[in-house]
Structure 1
Amino acid sequence: MLRTISRPFLKSSLIAMAMACCVFASCYAVGHTESETVAKNFNVALPTAGGAQFWTDLEARGGYRVQRNALTGHCRILDSQNIRRGWGSEEDACELLDELCPNKTAPASKPVVVLLHGLMRTDGSMKSMESALRADGYDQIIRFGYASTRSSLGESSKALHRVLAGQHPDAEFCFVGHSMGNIVTRHLIGDLQRNGDPERIVSRCRSMVMLGPPNQGAAIARRLGATGVFEWVAGPGAMELGTNWTEVEANLATPPFPFAIVAGKIAVGAVRNPLVDGESDFVVSWEEAQLDGAETVHEVAVLHSFLMNDPAVQEWTIEFLDAHLE
């Protein structure tokens, strides 16, 4: 006996078939290039978290990023919406980047601003700062993402070097770093000063604002590092800020261009962190943030984790960058 197919069932089936066709069509559109990447690695264009704790940027161009996984070593390429456009070996990913964006972006009227997040954060934590900078006319911004809990400071600085070296040869740079991001930048400058700077990156740097930088190491990392669990959770870079600070400090340079420090001081009587000595932003003490050569040290009553999101800090940061455009 024949049974009639209900309209709701038929409608649901048609919708499911249409969705399946869209998925396969998008896979073909994303991967249909001459690159061997597509031939070897079938890609589904699905959203990603953008990096989280396991991915480090190697290239950044035209809104695309090539990232390497700190655990597996394989690479992928994301677009400006963090949609994965391909994956495979580093060579595969870079080849696909050249196909998707063959030309380096010409310099704009203002320098490229490089935003660097802190320990256990992602480049997404700098989105609010990016929005404020764009509103002030900074059109070229790189939110550098790195596997802060899985990589050493030296490994992260090498990746940063590669991203900067991949920009237009006439591009100039400004930096806004939060916490560990400042130490990664100082490590890079030290590397270039010691080993040579064929791309003239340091000479093209205009200014830098350090937000809550542990320029003298971090007592909180030193004390937590003694537990053993801290290294497993926070990684080798965190240990370098604490128990291994003496070794890493020798590799750090003071920026040879104008830089400022924004350091938090929580008011007396407010919440205090017993793992941090003296006045602090709850993570980095006032003394730990200091670095000889700073043009100015700006005091704010803002907790460490929110420095880059505070409107007053953003305004002050932009004013400092604007003052050093020439």
Structure 2
Amino acid sequence: MPNKLLLTVTQPSRHWFAAPAVALAVLVGLSGLWTAPVAAAPPADQKKSLPAIKLPTLGGTQFWTDQVVFHDWRIQRNHLTRHYRLLDSKNYRHTWGSFEHCQETLKKLKTELKLPAIEGKVVIVLHGLGRTRNSMNTIKEYLQKHSNYTVLTMSYASTRANVQTHAQSLAQVIKGIPQAKEISFVAHSLGNLVIRRYLHNAKTRKVTGPTLGSIVMLAPPNQGSAMARRFKDSKLIRTVWGPSGDEIASHWPTLSRQLAVPSCPFGILAGKSEKTVLDNPLITGGDDLVVTVAETRLAGARDFLVVPAVHTYLMDHPQVHRVTLRFLEHGYFQSESKRQPIKP
């Protein structure tokens, strides 16, 4: 991939195709969006045990959502067929069928492999729209190496369902780690809206959840996305980003009312591209090529920091790694004296 990308639009009357081309480059190319083959449908009776044939998989892309995450083991549900499968740390499928069957298999493996319970402080890491948990590997590995947190990454079919469905899956994953003393979150882009919807659901339904630690939001579209709204009438782009993207683009007033402001300490990291190298003419003001700095802001944030990174690779930036851990541990990105809270 080239180190520099220049996106410019000139003489729009003579180059009528430029804006759609830029839109696709940003929303598809920069988001890393892609899909993968769908697994064959299971037998109608999923209650029966299915052959435990160990097979390699892609780990879940745009058709699989985690329902249980236990260290590097995970039970996933297929968005289309609704069946489940159990994957190990190398994405090998150990069994498939019903949720109960996969649960029972995992329970046996916990005993056979002497897998320790998930206790203490946990950080759940969520990816953004059109991405997979692999996109969060560098920040996950940094947190694992430099802290005592148990770090779990969650996959969800971001382009196949709405924010509410993703939030329900997050609740299921959290339910599966009842011995965790405290749960924090690190999320990129759409993943932050999934967390906020989960918190909204818990509050409105008066559900007693786990003790919350803190949240680090990476390039969150907390105020919607002008980039998405610009192309809300494009059937092609709406098909690419799916129901969640359509909610941000076309139904933001409704969606925003269903997103809680976290009651725990949260910090926001916004990206700002270097305009001499990268330029997205479809967004005005400081931005990371997809979300503007202003759109990331949310009243109540304990700290706010702008970093020199583009949206797609913000979670890979070394500075982001360092300040994310610092916020999780101390509640600020740089120091207490340099905190930039966003007042309600």
Same fold by TM-score greater than 0.5: yes
Choose 155-164 or 237-246, whichever is displaced more.
237-246
Counterpart selection for 1:91 from 89, 100, 104 = 100
Q: Pick from 117, 122, 127: which aligns with 1:117?
A: 127
Alignment of 1:8-47 (within 5 A): 40-47=49-56
Report how far residue 61 of structure 1 moved.
Answer: 1.6
Q: Which amino acid aligns with 2:173?
A: V
Q: Are the aligned partners of 1:78 and 1:84 in contact in 2 as well (CA < 8 Å)?
A: yes
For residue 106 of structure 1, report the CA deviation from its aligned partner: 4.3
Which of 289, 292, 317 is 1:310 aligned to? 317
Structure 1 residue 258 displacement after superposition:
0.6
- Of residues 134-143 and 315-324 in structure 1, the stretch that sits farther from structure 2 once superposed is 134-143
User: d(CA) in 2 for partners of 1:183 and 1:212?
Assistant: 11
5+ unaligned residues in a row in structure 2: which ranges? 1-44, 333-344
Change (3 A) 1:106 1:302: closer
User: Secondary structure of 1:318's partner?
Assistant: helix
SS at match of 2:258: coil
Correspondence for 2:136: 126
CA distance in 2, matches of 1:62, 1:178: 21
Q: In the TM superposition, what are the counterparts of 1:122-161 in structure 2 within 5 Å?
A: 122-161=132-171
Q: In 2, are the aligned partners of 1:113 and 1:138 still within 8 Å (CA)?
A: no
8 Å Cα contact 1:58-1:67 kept in structure 2: yes
In structure 2, the CA distance between the partners of 1:38 and 1:165, relative to structure 1 (3 Å rule), is closer
Whole-angstrom distance in 2 between the partners of 1:48 and 1:223? 37
Residue equivalent to 1:55: 64
Which is further off, 242-251 or 42-51? 42-51
- Whether the 8 Å CA contact 2:189–2:217 is kept in 1: the answer is yes
1:197-230 residue CA offsets vs partner (Å, 9 max, x unmatched): 23x22xx111111000000111122222211112
Does the aligned pair in 2 maintain the 1:176–1:208 contact within 8 Å? yes
* Percent sequence identity over aligned pairs: 37
Q: How far did residue 98 of structure 1 move?
A: 2.2
Q: Describe how 1:160-239 pairs up with structure 2 within 5 A.
A: 160-198=170-208, 200-201=209-210, 204-239=211-246
Q: Distance in 2 between matches of 1:87 and 1:288?
A: 41
Rounded to whole Å, the distance in 2 between the matches of 1:216 and 1:39 is: 47
Letter of the 1:263 partner, please give it.
Answer: A
Q: Check the 8 A contact 1:37/1:93 in 2, yes or no.
A: no
Match of 2:231, SS state, is helix
Question: Of residues 253, 263, 269 in structure 2, which corresponds to 1:256?
Answer: 263
Contact map agreement 1:104 1:168 (CA 8 A) in 2: no
Q: Confirm whether residue 71 of structure 1 aligns to residue 83 of structure 2.
A: no
CA drift of 1:104 comes to 7.1
Tell me the residue number matched to 2:337.
Answer: none
RMSD between superposed Cα atoms in Å: 2.0
Secondary structure of 2:125 counterpart: strand
Count of residues in Structure 1 that have an aligned counterpart in Structure 2: 285
Asked if the contact 2:159/2:243 (under 8 Å) is kept, the reply is yes
Between the aligned partners of 2:272 and 2:69, the Cα distance in structure 1 is 35
Contact residue 71 and residue 152 of structure 2 kept, 8 A: no
Q: 1:104·1:167 contact (CA, 8 Å) conserved in 2? A: no
1:174-206 Cα shifts (integer Å, max 9, x gaps): 1110000001000000010001223x22xx111
Distance 1:62 1:214 in 2: 29
Q: Which amino acid aligns with 1:262?
A: L
Structure 1 counterpart of 2:117, one-letter code = T
**What is the aligned counterpart of 1:293 among 288, 291, 300?**
300
Distance 1:62 1:211, change over 3 A: closer
Letter in 2 for 1:220: M
Counterparts of 2:180 and 2:289 in 1: how far apart (Å)?
40
Does the C-alpha gap of structure 1 residues 38 and 196 become closer, same or farther in structure 2, counting only changes over 3 Å? Answer: closer
Q: Is the 8 A contact 1:106 1:171 kept in 2?
A: no
User: Matches of 1:147 and 1:268 in 2, distance apart?
Assistant: 32
For normalisation by structure 1, the TM-score amounts to: 0.83
The change in CA–CA distance for 1:165 and 1:40 in structure 2 (over 3 A counts) is closer
Q: Is the 8 A contact 2:118 2:150 kept in 1?
A: no
The structure with the greater share of residues assigned to helix is: 1
Q: Which has the larger radius of gyration?
A: 1
- How many angstroms does 1:297 deviate by? 0.9
Q: Displacement, 1:324?
A: 4.3
Structure 1 counterpart of 2:110, from 101, 104, 115: 101
Query: Is 1:267 the equivalent of 2:279?
Result: no
